[in-house]
């Protein structure tokens, strides 16, 4: 069992020293460090730290805000740690410790609440989409061509003009015209 630690500060002007001292005192075997905003999802040292985890290792941070900027971000990171069959512990946040039964309980409740929130959002989004469709609102991207241009493109194609030439005249990709001319859409 190894203790893999992660330390992060947001700006170059900040120092990692205090975090490194705490993590070392807590028994960290290896500390991954980086100076990058927590809002970024492409944190190389965080990814490397999670990749370094083996079964029964402990992933250690000084505080949760050094690891994640939102509950969803935290839960995604926790899921990645759990996939490695490793545990998680935060020095300053005693409740965030999956090495104890109480910590696992709280993290499970937090995960359940986040899943419930995602389901509520999905239901509200679906209901809103259905209401919009009932009002005749078209979903998706706006068409590249107006109805008049679509009619004109079909007429020009029926008169023998190539899809590429029609596309150039409307400043759209040839595939836009080809989709318009496909039998399913006519």
Which position among 10, 41, 178, 182 bears the catalytic label? Answer: 10
Query: Residue 81, class by beta-carbon neighbours within 10 Å (0-12 exposed, 13-18 middle, 19+ buried)?
Result: buried
Q: How are beta strands 30-35 and 3-9 bridged, if at all?
A: parallel
First and final C-alpha spacing in the chain:
65
Q: How far apart are CA 172 and CA 20, in angstroms?
A: 55
**41 counts as catalytic:** no
Count of C-beta atoms within a 10 Å radius of residue 45: 16
d(CA 57, CA 71): 23
The residues that are catalytic are 10
């Amino acid at each position: 069992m190894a203790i893999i630690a992660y330390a992060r500060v947001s700006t170059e002007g900040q120092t990692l020293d205090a975090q490194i001292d705490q993590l070392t005192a807590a028994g960290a075997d290896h500390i991954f460090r980086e100076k990058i905003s927590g809002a970024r999802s492409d944190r190389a040292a965080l990814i490397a730290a999670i990749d370094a985890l083996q079964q029964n290792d402990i992933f250690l941070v000084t505080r949760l805000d050094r690891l994640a900027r939102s509950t969803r971000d935290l839960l995604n990171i926790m899921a990645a740690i759990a996939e490695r069959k490793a545990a998680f512990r935060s020095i300053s946040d005693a409740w965030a410790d999956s090495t104890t039964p109480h910590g696992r309980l709280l993290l499970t409740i937090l995960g359940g609440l986040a899943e419930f929130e995602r389901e509520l959002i999905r239901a509200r989004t679906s209901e809103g989409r259905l209401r919009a469709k009932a009002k005749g609102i078209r979903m998706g991207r706006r068409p590249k061509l107006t109805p008049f241009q679509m009619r004109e493109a079909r007429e020009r194609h029926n008169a023998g003009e190539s899809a590429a030439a029609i596309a150039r005249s409307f400043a759209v990709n040839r595939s836009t015209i080809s989709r318009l001319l496909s039998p399913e859409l006519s």
